[in-house]
Structure 1
Amino acid sequence: MWLIRGLSSDLFGTLEYINNHLGTSSRGFDVTNKTNDNELRKRYDEGMFEFGVASPMFVPLSTAAIMNLAAFLWGIFQVLMGKYDLFGQVFIAGFGVVNSWPIYEAMVLRSDKGKMPTKITLIAGFLAWIMFVLSSFVVRM
């Protein structure tokens, strides 16, 4: 939950706070009942997070999850090749991967209506790829 809150609600809450103090318009928020069909109620009772709506709040969350997975896999590869002693870094990236499991499940494994929209997954993958390209450019400098 700390990953979801830190990468979505805190970010958008800060932007909303800045907009309110600058006097610009803000979005309205209406509380609605989210469990009005049986399939949704079943997922809710199982404790599954609902990703079925294409929300911009899922983009930074998905991007961070993809970057954690890529960093973990790259670290494992580097350790197996014997190039670096990266146990601590791989352990931390692995912790991020384990905590991001519901996001990976929503992006790839789920087939119900609560699945992460393909558009969000593609945008997050593209942003993660851009960040990796930029980071490899900075490392080479």
Structure 2
Amino acid sequence: MLVQQTRWAFGLMQIGLSRFNPLIYGPLRMSILQSLCYAYNFLESLYVFPVYCLAIIPPICLLYGIPLYPKVSEPYFIVFAFIFVSSRLKHVQETIAFGDPLRNTVYELRVWMMKSVACYLYAIVNAILDKIGLHEANFSLTSKVVDDEQEARFKQGIYDFQVSPMLLIPMCSMYILNLAAFIIGIARLFQKSDEFLAQAVLSLFVVIVNYHLLEGMFLRKDKGRIAPSVTLLSIAISAIILGCGSLLLFY
């Protein structure tokens, strides 16, 4: 799924960076509304920027004791809380309205996070490299053979992480960063819960929604787990991000 999503996002970004960009090429040939609908398809990859900001900046600031959001006792905190809670409730309402089980809300959010962190990142990078002539066109085949163990995991709703490490490393790195931030941030909650509650809740939200990554890295022993080498590399990348964060914040 991740490989195919990366290909689709890459192709759409190529269109967005070409002269056939719907926002430039489209208005003269179709309605503005139709142009905007087409433009959304390639602009969706830009979610990678706010997602990475939310995945990196709040946990780093939580680890180093820098509050980002208003205190719980301040009136402006209600604004942030309302936006977060209302967006989640709206997603729940849409899921129920379509007749899907409530657990699909978590699955859809999980897939969106995975796409934003991994697929959209490589799609944008490859599209830019292709635009400046540093990316060669290629078509790598993916195996369509499913063994008995993969089929059993699929029926049980267990994720199969037998994909390219390049797609797993960004997700695992962001997860480990938020997991570490939440664990260490608990101590800060006992000291200054009024200041760091929002950041701790945000990291906890990421940890809970993407619990399957925790299982894949540390709890599972089957063939579909995340390879230990990927886990170790992700831990190293998370440590590097924390180190760079300290340099930017204090120097």
TM-score by length of 1: 0.89
| 8 Å Cα contact 1:54-1:120 kept in structure 2 | no
Among 207, 217, 226, the residue aligned to 1:107: 217
Quote the Cα distance in structure 2 between the aligned partners of 1:136 and 1:19.
Answer: 30
**Residue 244 of structure 2 is aligned to residue 140 of structure 1:** no
Shift of 1:77: 1.3
Quote the Cα distance in structure 2 between the aligned partners of 1:15 and 1:65.
Answer: 21
Quote the Cα distance in structure 1 between the aligned partners of 2:138 and 2:174.
Answer: 25
1:60-98: CA deviation from partner (whole Å, max 9, x where unpaired): 110000001011112211112x14531111111110111
Amino acid corresponding to residue 71 of structure 1 in structure 2: A
Aligned to 2:144: 33
Larger Rg: 2
Quote the Cα distance in structure 2 between the aligned partners of 1:14 and 1:54.
Answer: 18
Shift of 1:54: 4.5
Quote the Cα distance in structure 2 between the aligned partners of 1:118 and 1:134.
Answer: 24
**What count of residue pairs does the alignment treat as equivalent?**
139
Shift of 1:52: 2.8
TM-score by length of 2: 0.52
SS in 1 for 2:226: coil
Aligned to 2:240: 130
Aligned to 2:202: 92
Aligned to 1:71: 181
| 8 Å Cα contact 1:52-1:115 kept in structure 2 | yes
Among 59, 62, 74, the residue aligned to 2:172: 62
Unpaired runs of 5+ residues, structure 1, are none
Quote the Cα distance in structure 1 between the aligned partners of 2:142 and 2:237.
Answer: 31
Identity %: 25
Worse overlay, 90-99 or 46-55: 46-55
SS in 1 for 2:165: coil
Shift of 1:119: 1.1
Shift of 1:59: 0.8
Shift of 1:15: 2.0
Unpaired runs of 5+ residues, structure 2, are 1-110
Quote the Cα distance in structure 1 between the aligned partners of 2:233 and 2:189.
Answer: 30
The alignment's C-alpha RMSD in Å is: 1.7
